[in-house]
Structure 1
Amino acid sequence: MAKTVFKTLGITAGLSTVLLFTGMSQAFAIAPFQASYQFNYNGKNLGSATRTLSKSGNNWTYVFAAKAGGIASATETSRFSFNNGKIGSSSFKRNSKILVHNNTLTMNFNPSSKTVQTQKDEEKRSFAWKADVLDELNAELQIREDLKGSGLKSNYYIADAKEIEPRKFVKQGTENITTKYGTFNTVKVVMKHSKAGRETIFWLAPKLDYLPVKVTHVDKKTSYGLLLTDYKGASN
């Protein structure tokens, strides 16, 4: 269960979303930031998480890290380029630890050979390239940039260990969310799941460049989520 928690939180940390704005100023172009979160599991505070976006030239690095006491931890790292409003995926890596058990996933994106190569622990795979393919983490940033332009696409193609699959996000109104960092007017967005009993919701704050200030995920009788505690970066 903890492994599923951290994978989904990586996606949610990774897949924030939604408000259809056009004509935004350059102040809202993709920019480095750091955000801290409280992590809860079935309504209980269990640990903390951070998102950090940094750059060197046109090489960007996005890191999501989470800890649940001494029980589990996970780190995800996405490397990519950014040109004309589009992210070009380069690599992705996830390390997770649950008690004494370690799991690793790596993905390398190769546009020249039109392949995506992955390795989950000892299992290696290679599958066909898809235009504008993203990973679970940088998809969040692409969606945020799209919302400042022409709006969300009908689908976003995201790679995992076994395949590239389309995912859809749906806007469901606005809501005020109170966090330790402040109260924000947010856009509520739902990520659609193919399996019954699962629901992932994001609350995105336009004031913080559409940063997710709250995320929840329900998987039948289990729930977990993130709530913002601190932020350093672009704001409106």
Structure 2
Amino acid sequence: MAHSTLKRFGLTASLTTAVVFTAALTGQAFAMSPFQASYQFSYNGKNVGSATRTLSHSGNNWTYVFAAKAAGIASATETSHFTFNNGKISSSSFSRTSKVLVHNNTMSIKFNPSSKTINTKKDDKARSFAWRSDVLDELNAELQIREDLKSSGLKSSYHLADAKEIESRRFVKSGTENVKTNYGTFSTIKVVMKHDKPGRETIFWLAPKLDYLPVKVTHVDKKSSYGLLLTGYKGTTH
């Protein structure tokens, strides 16, 4: 159960916590700036751990890391590498490691434009998919969505790579709401991720004051629920 919870906070948490900055802030080609955000992690309404998101870069090679710990018995780390040009993220690689007690799991994705393939490996199972230049991973998809919100608006769908497939996801704006966190109260835009499977619901509350950083995320999967709530942030504000 803990492993399932931490894993979904890849996109579902993972689609949670970076920050995008406009090029106008720096006058440079980059539209994103390094940041770090911390969160309280809850499961079925109880606080069980913490999580962080960290965005850094060297030139135009960007690294986005999500790390979480729950109740001292489970942990997970996800890392996305990508480049960013003209408002568009180009994926390079993604990896996930998770541990529950003494059990370890790994997953990786390699985006290979030269060979026109996207290769995935989960533990010992490897798969290969046809290349698409617009395919994102579970972490950098969040950054692309926020960048689109600040410019032309959300696309009708986004293509995401997982270990088993490349799937299409939809994100829909659903009004505004004030959200109280340990870091302050923020006016937010509510965005719902649409799931094909019944019994699932994922909602993100994005704060324009923090450049559309998700200050709250909730996910319901049938009888289980979990969430992230902002506790700290280092980066540019408006």
What TM bracket, shorter-length normalisation? Answer: over 0.9
Deviation string 1:78-135 (CA, Å, 9 cap, x unpaired) is 0000111111100000000011110000110001111101110011111111231100
CA shift, 1:202, in A, is: 0.4
- Structure 2 counterparts to residues 45-64 of structure 1, below 5 A: 45-64=47-66
Question: What is the CA–CA distance in structure 2 between the aligned matches of 1:27 and 1:215, rounded to whole Å?
Answer: 27
Picking from 26, 29, 32, the partner of 2:24 is: 26
- 1:142 corresponds to 2:144: yes
In the alignment, does 2:15 pair up with 1:15? yes
Runs of 4+ in 1 over 3 A off after TM superposition: none
8 A Cα contact 1:202 1:215, kept in partner: yes
Q: Which amino acid aligns with 1:163?
A: E
What is the rounded CA distance, in whole Å, between the counterparts of 2:43 and 2:59 in structure 1? 38
Give the superposition deviation at 1:148.
1.4
Contact 2:90 2:133 in 1 (8 A): no
Equivalent position SS for 2:134: coil
CA distance in 2, matches of 1:73, 1:119: 20
Give the Cα–Cα distance (whole angstroms) in 1 for the partners of residues 44 and 218 of structure 2: 10
Among 167, 171, 174, the residue aligned to 2:173: 171
Tell me how many residue pairs correspond in the alignment: 230
Find out whether 1:36 has 2:38 as its counterpart: yes
Question: What is the identity, as a one-letter code, of the residue corresponding to 1:30?
Answer: M
Contact 1:16 1:141 in 2 (8 A): no
SS in 1 for 2:12: helix
Q: What is the correspondence of 1:114-133 to structure 2 with a 5 Å cutoff?
A: 114-133=116-135
Higher relative contact order (CA 8 A, sep 6+): 1
Q: TM-score, normalised by structure 2?
A: 0.94
The Cα offsets for residues 188-230 of structure 1, whole Å up to 9 and x where unpaired, read as 1110011111100100000001000000001111110100000
Q: Which residue of 1 aligns with 2:105?
A: 103
Counterpart position of 1:157: 159
Give the deviation of 1:25 after TM superposition: 6.4
**Contact 1:32–1:54 (Cα < 8 Å) also in 2:** yes
One-letter amino acid of the counterpart of residue 15, structure 1 = L
Determine the structure 2 residue equivalent to 1:76: 78
Report what 2:4 is aligned to.
4
- Which secondary structure state, in structure 1, belongs to the residue aligned with residue 80 of structure 2? strand
Q: Partner of 2:217 in structure 1?
A: 215
After superposition, the Cα gap between the structure-2 partners of 1:16 and 1:51, relative to the gap in structure 1 and judged at 3 Å, is closer
Amino acid at match of 2:11: I
Please name the residue that 2:194 is paired with. 192
Gaps of 5+ in 2: none
> In 1, are the aligned partners of 2:203 and 2:218 still within 8 Å (CA)?
yes
Q: Which amino acid aligns with 2:47?
A: N
User: How far 1:5 sits from its partner (Å)?
Assistant: 0.9
Unaligned runs of 5+ in 1: 18-23
Q: TM-score, normalised by structure 1?
A: 0.94
- 1:73–1:98 CA contact under 8 A, matched in 2: yes
Verify the 8 A CA contact 1:13 1:51 in the aligned structure 2.
no
**1:16 CA displacement:** 4.8
Counterparts of 1:49 and 1:102 in 2: how far apart (Å)?
A: 19
For residues 141 and 57 of structure 2, what CA distance do their matches in structure 1 show? Answer: 17
Letter in 1 for 2:2: A
**SS of 2:153's equivalent?**
coil
Decide which of 92, 95, 113 is 2:94's aligned counterpart. Answer: 92
Letter in structure 2 aligned against 1:204: L
Query: What secondary structure does 1:10 align onto?
Result: coil
Instruction: Please list the CA deviations of residues 144-167 of structure 1 after superposition, one character each: whole Å capped at 9, or x if unmatched.
Output: 111111111000000000111110
